[in-house]
């Protein structure tokens, strides 16, 4: 090979080789999203996983993470940090709820940006979050963290509130909280919520809190790892049925009155929770007589396929991509300008039935429907929708006019009532 050819080969290798290596801690349920986004930015990733014996049941035996160059099984912070240092890791990122605490400890051991390990519970536990916010004079739900049903019933009796929410203390547990208005309903909710907590987090700890009324919002954020400045990447406004089933989520303009109020509150919340870098997701209730109230926060990026499609349709980026950009570029991208109005709509079957193919075609070809996720085909049996698991798919609606989305949204509901589910 000539010298010129050798130089050309080395130049090509430099262009193709990654500029960094990131450790993705506990990427369970991520489906390779983080690894894919880092690869698109020229970085490779190594997955840090927990041994099966240390995992809650939901994550045992799930197979190797998708898209990572290699997998490192964690066996002690000092040993894992030594192996990551030897491989030249440039960043440590929590890719799931089980990874927040470990990512903080590994980052500290490697002298890389990360959260303070002593305060990791602030970024994972609903009760700890509520107590910290209340101590700082910020609105937070009253509640009790306990694994005892008797203690929960006693607290509810003393609190004497109109309604309560029983849910897992771990903010990453996917089962929605149960709204209860009586001791009998608290008892009925306790078993399923405790099972979900153990299954997904490995702990029986639950929280019983006051049910905060008002519309709910989900705010995606990315924090600059060097300056600690918080950028709001997306604000979702949710609408739910009377039974608590998700109906639709709309991306809210950041410069709207609501958007500005939520931005101010969330930035203060992130400071209290010690979010010093990377992604976070905050769920907030907004009773107008009280102002925004944090219901839960989790310090990692995770979006559903429909959420990611909506965010990219509206602003060209999604939550994971924005967090990756902060790691790779060393800076947080500016708040995205919303190019289009978008909504994420859950199909809701009012009864058990069978999907009518012709009606489904009508729904999916409405002018603003740009994509669908998890959609059934004609002839597929469906159950009455009572939660996320029983909804027959989601639709992404996008348009330059919000009115066009409204018209198609109500047409979808009309088709559902008129025979989408025979």
pLDDT, tens digit (0-9, with 9 covering 90-100), for 322-343: 888 888 877 666 665 666 888 9
Task: Say which residue, 385 or 16, is predicted with more confidence.
Answer: 385
* In the block, residue with structure tokens 């990791």: 120
- Neighbouring CB atoms inside 10 A of 37's CB total 23
What does the pLDDT read at residue 18? 52
Distance CA 164, CA 183 (A): 10
pLDDT of residue 66: 85
Instruction: Determine the Cα–Cα distance for residues 361 and 354; give it in Å rounded to an integer.
Output: 14
Q: What is the pLDDT of residues 290-318, one digit of tens each?
A: 899 999 999 998 887 778 777 777 777 78
CB-based contacts of 385, cutoff 8 Å, min separation 6:
245, 346, 347, 348, 349, 350, 391, 392
Residue 168 tokens read as 């897992």
Q: How far apart are CA 300 and CA 286, in angstroms?
A: 23
The sign one gets for the Cα dihedral 391, 396, 401, 402 is positive
- Mean pLDDT score of the chain: 89
pTM equals 0.89
How many Å apart are CA 182 and CA 94, to the nearest integer? 38
Burial (CB count <10 Å: 0-12, 13-18, 19+), residue 3: exposed
Q: Which residue has the higher pLDDT, 186 or 67?
A: 186
337-385: per-residue pLDDT in tens?
666 888 999 999 999 999 999 999 999 999 999 888 889 999 999 999 9
∠ CA 156-158-161, rounded to 5°? 55
390 or 338, which is more confident? 390
């Amino acid at each position: 090979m000539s010298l010129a050819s050798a130089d050309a080969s080395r130049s090509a290798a430099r262009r193709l080789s990654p500029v960094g290596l990131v450790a993705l801690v506990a990427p369970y349920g991520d489906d390779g999203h983080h690894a894919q986004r880092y690869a698109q930015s020229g970085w490779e990733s190594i997955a840090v996983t927990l041994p099966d014996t240390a995992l809650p049941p939901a994550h045992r035996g799930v197979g190797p993470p998708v898209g990572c160059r290699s997998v490192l099984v964690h066996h002690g912070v000092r040993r894992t940090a030594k192996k990551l240092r030897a491989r030249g890791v440039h960043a440590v990122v929590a890719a799931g709820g089980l990874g927040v605490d470990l990512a903080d400890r590994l980052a500290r051991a490697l002298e890389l940006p990360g959260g303070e390990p002593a305060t990791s519970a602030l970024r994972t536990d609903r009760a700890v979050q509520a107590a910290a916010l209340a101590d700082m004079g910020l609105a937070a739900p009253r509640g009790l963290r306990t694994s005892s049903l008797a203690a929960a019933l006693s607290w509810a009796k003393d609190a004497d509130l109109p309604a309560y929410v029983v849910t897992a203390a771990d903010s990453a547990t996917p089962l929605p909280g149960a709204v209860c208005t009586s001791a009998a309903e608290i008892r009925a909710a306790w078993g399923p919520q405790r099972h979900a907590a153990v299954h997904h987090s490995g702990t029986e700890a639950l929280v019983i809190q006051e049910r905060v009324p008002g519309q709910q919002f989900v705010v995606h954020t990315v924090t600059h790892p060097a300056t600690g400045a918080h950028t709001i990447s997306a604000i979702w406004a949710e609408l739910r049925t009377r039974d608590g089933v998700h109906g639709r989520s709309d991306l809210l303009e950041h410069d709207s009155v609501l958007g500005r109020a939520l931005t101010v509150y969330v930035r203060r919340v992130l400071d209290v929770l010690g979010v010093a870098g990377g992604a976070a997701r905050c769920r907030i209730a907004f009773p107008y007589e009280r102002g925004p109230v944090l219901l839960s926060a989790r310090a990692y990026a995770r979006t559903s396929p429909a959420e990611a499609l909506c965010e990219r349709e509206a602003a060209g980026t999604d939550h994971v991509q924005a967090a990756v950009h902060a790691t790779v570029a060393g800076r947080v991208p500016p708040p995205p300008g919303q190019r289009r109005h978008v909504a994420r709509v859950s199909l809701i079957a009012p009864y058990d039935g069978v999907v009518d193919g012709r009606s489904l075609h009508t729904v999916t070809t409405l002018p603003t429907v740009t994509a669908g996720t998890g959609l059934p085909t004609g002839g597929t049996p469906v159950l009455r929708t009572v939660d996320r698991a029983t909804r027959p798919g989601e639709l992404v609606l996008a348009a330059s006019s919000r009115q066009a989305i409204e018209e198609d949204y109500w047409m979808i509901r009309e088709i559902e009532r008129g025979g989408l589910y025979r």
